[in-house]
Chain A
Amino acid sequence: MVSPILFIVVPLAAAFLTVLVNRNAGARILALLTGFALSALAWFWFRADLSTPVSVVIAGIAPPMGIQLSMDRLSAALALLISVSGFLVILYSQSYLKSEEAQSKHYAVLLLLMAASFGILLTRDLFNLFVFYEILCISSYILVASEETKASFEASLKYLLLGSVGSLFMLVAIGLAYRVSGSLAMSDIAQALGEADLSYVMLTAALFVLGMGIEAAIFPVNTWLPDAHSTAPSSISAVLSGFVIELALIVLLRISMTVFSSVNLMLPLRYMALAGILIGELAAFGQTELKRTLAYSSMGQVGLMLFALTLGTEAGRQAGMAHLVMHTGAKSILFLIAGYFIVRTGKRDIKSYSGLGRRMPLTGVFFVIGALSLVGVPPLFGFFTKFKILSAAAVSGATGAWLGIAVILLGTVLEASYLFRVVRTLYSDPETGNTRAVKGRMEMDVPALIAVFGFTLLVIFGSFLLPLIPSGLAL
């Protein structure tokens, strides 16, 4: 029997070993092997029959006294998404991180981030969730700062201060929950909070959502996102935008729907989502740097997913999950390619990239596919997910659903215009641009090309996966 605990133990062990290896080549291979092993493990669980969730009790002590992990269909699907995109990003880093001194440490922190992601996905204990959430946050701060530029240090510190305040709120919420339920197991807390005073539950829920919402980049507490995602190394931007915020979002929603079910959090979250879409897309439209544009676009896309997931219908949740998978693919493509644009030109502005699409033909095609899917152009995955969200909203009858549809359509128009602007620059005449003429091969290195190709396959053929994407948000 393959225990789900391997998801956490394998990357942890690899991270501990990587530091000892302390040679770049060894660390790279070790990270790559770990990523592959995790993907295989996730595939095994994805194919397994999980109609009843598989639970694992730590130290043989059942909850409420001990800690329990549980693997259900949602966790298995997200674990597959995380491990495959983690593997592809590690593959990309093989060539992208060439110049960096502290490569083995970089991979170790990336593996810790993956271990923590699996941890918050699997655990059914509120405090254990907090511990893994902290590992996730700390590794994200480190990875953002590992770009070693002025801006990345600032973004990382800002992220750290905001994230720490969020963790404090979360801890207070856990304390409040323990005080009324006398237990830390999510199911016990859900039961106790169901019978508790409503204002008490509201306070607990508000503190928890505010705390965890920081990593999920929900509207009022997402100010760190554009700085952190745009100044981090591009492989890390792809990880943070690709699965970390999505994962935090899903776990947050799962907890607010099950543990805090007695207060209706869906309505405020839905309006916060709409505000996120509007502000994110408007800000993205006004940016001149490619990575900053993409970061603000992530802000809008998170709002889109949150809106669909909080509609309160089965169709809405399914559409939201599908869009989440699509966003992981599309945003990873765009960020990974943006990293190579910066490496090849040494500049971050969109206008410096004129003509790059002609010099990097294959890369250019991948970029266009990613951008089209993000906007939602028909044959690609993004069209199906956006269409499903809109139709789910139209039939849901939820408060604010029609307002939501209008906002989403407006967001799509904005998104299409700024992404089209980037694509037009990529294929414009290089002579009219102000780039210095770069001679020689411009295409991305082979590992990076393979990684981006992997994400492109997801974006093109993702619509065939739709029936496999689960929608339940049970504990």
Chain B
Amino acid sequence: MRKLIGILLIGGFAFYLITVGMGLFSAESRSELDSVGSEILATSPDLSGAANTVTAVVVQYRGFDTLGEVTVLFASALGVSMLAMAIRDGLLQDLFDDDGGFVLQAGSLALLPFIVLVGIYIVLHGHLSPGGGFPGGVIIATAVFVVILTSKTLSIPRGLINVLETLAGLGFLAIGFVGLYSPAQSFLANILPKGEFGSLLSAGFIPVIYAIVAIKVASELINIISKLTAAGSASREAAE
């Protein structure tokens, strides 16, 4: 019954989209942009100084969206830690009964600095090549996650991570305010010198914001992971 209703609903939706969509998407081939993207491509080297235009859009043209995006992650991490706090039922016990054994543990610890290094590289080159604060932050968090997965006990400095999380968030807002009260008089205005186009120290505040975003993303992710796994390890300690 459930399947039938599902098929009917989805089928009707698909039929509607196909009948409307066929005519519209039939002539889908273009050799040049006719959107605001072409304007951005033309102005971005001068305005932002970033070689990677996607980064320029994310951090400067639509920097306000990125502030919102970071806030979404913040809200989600808050929610996870509020809700996971009370799980004490040995839900994840099986997962954590085994530690990974010596080789895996030593290996993951040895990998940690290298993964973090790759993460930092990706963050700092965000305005030059694909990457930036979000992927870089995730990679840094992955380093910690690998260690959590393999070792039985890992004490994460929660206090430090909370401080980093808050400072990164406030730092983003502070940069915004510097723009607001600078001669540019606009929230999140890029007022730092642009530097030489295509070099590491260029693009004004874009690397700074990406570093802040990376700290924020990494600390939120470590928070989420540690809260979710702590639910399991707390129950294991109770069982022992």
Contacts and interface: CB of A to CB of B under 8 A. Distances in A.
Nearest to A101: B85
A59 B188 contact: yes
B200 interface: no
A12 B62 contact: no
A16 B186 contact: no
Q: Which of B40, B43, B186, B190 has the most CB of A within 10 A?
A: B186
Contacts of A101: 85-86
B179 interface: yes
Interface string B56-90: 00001111110111011011101101110110000
Contacts of A109: 75, 78-79, 82
Contacts of A13: 169-170, 173
A127 B75 contact: no
Contact of B187 (A59, A65, A116, A146): A59
B71 A12 contact: yes
A147 B169 CA distance: 27
A138 B83 CA distance: 13
Dominant SS at the A interface? Answer: helix
Given A19-B166, A20-B163, A20-B166, A145 B79 contact: yes
B184 interface: yes
A467 interface: no
Interface stretch (B29-37, B105-113, B143-151): B29-37
B62 A66 contact: yes
Interface residues on A, range: 35 or more
Interface of A: 3, 5, 9, 12-13, 15-17, 19-20, 22, 56-61, 64-67, 101-102, 105-106, 108-109, 112, 115-116, 119, 127-128, 131-132, 134-135, 138-139, 141-142, 145-146, 148, 178, 181-184, 197, 199-200, 202-203
Given A12-B173, A13-B169, A131-B68, 18 more contacts: A5-B180, A16-B173, A19-B165, A19-B166, A58-B63, A58-B186, A59-B186, A60-B185, A65-B39, A101-B86, A105-B82, A106-B82, A112-B74, A116-B71, A119-B68, A128-B62, A128-B68, A200-B24
The 10 closest A-B pairs by CB, nearest first: A182-B35, A142-B79, A131-B68, A16-B169, A60-B186, A20-B166, A64-B36, A59-B188, A60-B189, A58-B64
Interface of B: 17, 20-21, 23-24, 33-37, 39-40, 43, 47, 60-65, 67-69, 71-72, 74-76, 78-79, 81-83, 85-86, 162-163, 165-166, 169-170, 173, 176-177, 179-180, 184-190
